[in-house]
Structures are given as C-alpha cells and as structure tokens.
Amino acid sequence: MTPVAAVRAATAHPVVRARAADALYGAFCLADAVSAAQSTWSDHGAWAGLGVGAAGLTGTALVVLLRRTRPVLVVLCTIPLAFAGGLDGAVILALFALAVRRRDRVLAGLAGLCWVAVGAAQITQDSSNWAAGFIAGAVIIVLAVVGGAYVGARRDLLASLRDRAEQAEATALLLQRQARLAERTLIAREMHDVVAHRISLVALHAGALEVNPASGPERVEQAAALIGTTARQALEDLRGVLGVLRSDPDAPVPEAAGLAPQPRLEDVPRLVEASVAAGVPVTFEDLRPAGAPPVDEVVGRTVYRVVQEALTNVHKHARSARTRVVVSADDPGLLRVEVTNVRPVAGSMLVPGSGTGLVGLRERVGLAGGTLDAGPVPGGGWSVRATFPGRQS
C-alpha cells in the first residue's frame, strides 16, 4: 500500500465518522441530563426537574450542533448549566471538543473556568466533602483536555501526512511526465537531423535531373534509384518518430522506437560520400595525429550531428559550392570540426529551412561540453566551427 493510500484509509469515510461522533456526544449529554433531571425531581420537585431537563437538552443541542464551528461559545454557554443544575457532562464534552481544535491560552483559561463549574456540580451532588469534589473536577478536566489535545494532534498529523504524501505523489508523477517529454523531445531532435538531411539529398538529386533534362537513361535511372532509396529511408524514420510522439505521453517510450543506431565520429565519411553522390563538391580531411585515442561517444555523436546539419544547410542554400569538412586535434585535449563552403553559385533554395537547426545544434554542442561558432567568411562563404574537450572513451 502506498503512503497516500495508507493515510487515506486512516481518514476514510469522514461523513460517517462525523455522524458517529455526533451520536456519541448526544448520547453522553442526554444521559447526563436525564440523570441530573431525575435527581433534581426527587430532591426539589417536578418543576425543578423539568427545568434541569430542558437545560440539559439545550446543552446537548449546543454541543452536537456548534462544537465544530463555535467551540469557545459552546464552552461559555455550558458553564452556567454546570453551576445551576449540576449538568457537568455538557461542559466536559464542550471542553473536550475545544481541545481537539485549539491548544492555546484560550483553552487554558476556559479549562480553569470549567474546573470551577465541574467542582461546583460535584459539590451540588455531594456537599459533604467539597475538597473531594474539586479534586474530582480537576481530574475530569485534565482528562478532557489531554484527551481532546491528543485527538486534535493526531488529526493534524494525519492531515499533514496526507498533504505531504499527495504532494510527493504529484511531484513524482510530474517528474515522470517531464522525463517522458524529454525523451520525446530528444527523439524529435534526432529525427529532425536525420530526416532533414535525407530530404535535402532527395531535393539535390531531383534538382540535378531538372537542371540536366537531357541526361542519358543510365544517369536518370541511377538518380531515380538514389531518390527512391533516400526517400524510403526518410519515410521509415519519420514513421517511427510519429508513432512514438502520437502515443500516450504518460506511457513509457519503448526501447526500440524505430530509431537507427546512434552515429559516431567514424560515420562522418559516409555523410560526405552521400553529399558527393548527390553532386555537391565536398571533401573530408581527418587531421588528427595517427594513433590518437578514440573520442568519447557523446562527443563523436555530436561531431557527426554538426557535420550533418552543416551539410544539410549546404544542400539547401549552397548546393553548388565547394565544401570542406575538417576534423583536427591541434591543441592537446581539444577536438575541432569545421565545415566551410565557398560562395554559392546557385541563387535559390531547393528546400525551405525552419531557421531552428543552428539553434538546436548550439544547444546540443553545449550539452556535450563544447562551443559552436557559425558565420560568414571572407569571400562570401559560410563556416560552422565546433570545439570539444578531447574526452576519451
């Protein structure tokens, strides 16, 4: 059983509990009123007994109906009943109800007044020994205050535990939901990188056919095959991420969400080859010294994404520009990747951009502990440069 369920079980059925408490308060007060009325009837006559009985009914109604909302008023109204008719039951229960709801100086002051009233009621019943009456009254008052304070403290503790348990449960659910949303955001970011790159390759192949309509059948067939293969791969990746993102946000993300294996630094040449096959003049240079230790997995994946996003932008905005991809480690402990293209000749974009690629890329590089710079270079070209700490795997 969870903490919330345990606390709720301890405080279950509040209406039933309240009605049962009303019945117990009423039964006790009525029993005391009947006893006092019978005693007064036998000692002082019928009219006096009826008056005490009516006073006892009044005290019972006050205790049952107003003890929750006006406990101080109920105590003040029942004290005269104990003085006048020996109805100490109502004042004891009223003081008990007050102790349940507040434990302060008001309770202490009213407890003193109730002690005097109960002691007077005890003397009224047996005037031969007034000291014993006041001692008995003190014991009764202490028991009422201590019992009411215990019940009130227990109620406060249960309410506090219930609030804390519910807050902890709500916090846990919120953290789980945030974690699942973070997983979906990561999936969407990865798919943006993959799908945007492949769609840009499709656009490049289609643009080449449009520019050279007189190409031979073999060239057209080859380009069509590349377009079909790339488009199918992009569609499969897109279908996978849509299946995850359309699912219930509160459901866990499956381990196999249709995503391809995570890329590494060693996969960068394949990106360059795909761009070259699409007709973009791209060269790749790995200037790291021979025997260099392997790069950390996170850094290698981020380097791959930097090159991928940069080449995607080249496909969109500078498809005919000569481009150079360089990975180097000139300074000890640092890994650099730079993608630079010269000024493009084509003046139109094959694929419209969303303008968020570099923003997300900068965030990704920052999470890997690196820095990203992107901007124009002399001569009208563009360069994307990222620097990472050379963490070893």
| Contact present, 165 and 4 (Cβ < 8 Å) | yes
Nearest to 360 by CA among 235, 107, 189: 189
Strands 282-286 and 323-328: parallel
- Residue 125: is its pLDDT beyond 50? yes
Residue 6 tokens read as 């345990």
Phi-psi region of 337 (alpha: psi -120 to 50; beta: other; left: phi over 0): beta
- Residue 251: is its pLDDT beyond 70? no
In the chain, which ranges are continuous DSSP H helix? 3-10, 14-44, 46-66, 71-85, 88-101, 105-125, 130-211, 217-245, 268-277, 297-317, 357-367
The residue whose two tokens read 């004042």 is: 91
Chain Cα centroid distance, residue 357:
29
Reported as a pLDDT band with limits 50, 70 and 90, residue 257 is very low
pTM of the model: 0.47
| Per-residue pLDDT tens over the stretch 148-203 | 889 988 988 988 888 898 888 888 888 888 887 777 776 666 666 666 666 777 77
| Per-residue pLDDT tens over the stretch 270-317 | 889 888 887 788 999 998 887 777 888 888 889 998 998 888 888 878
User: How would you list the strands of the sheet with 323-328, edge to edge?
Assistant: 282-286, 323-328, 334-341, 381-389, 371-377
Length of the chain: 393
Q: Residue 142 to residues 50, 107, 176: CA-CA distances in angstroms? A: 31, 12, 50
Q: Once rounded to an integer, what is the mean pLDDT over residues 15-33?
A: 80
Phi-psi region of 333 (alpha: psi -120 to 50; beta: other; left: phi over 0): left
Which positions ≥6 away from 49 have C-beta within 8 Å? 37, 38, 40, 41, 42
List, as one string, the DSSP characters of 253-316. Answer: PPS--SPPPPP-GGGHHHHHHHHHHTT--EEEEE-SPTTPPPBPHHHHHHHHHHHHHHHHHHHH
Instruction: Determine the 3-state secondary structure of 71 from DSSP.
Output: helix
The pLDDT of residue 383 is 93
| Contact present, 306 and 386 (Cβ < 8 Å) | yes
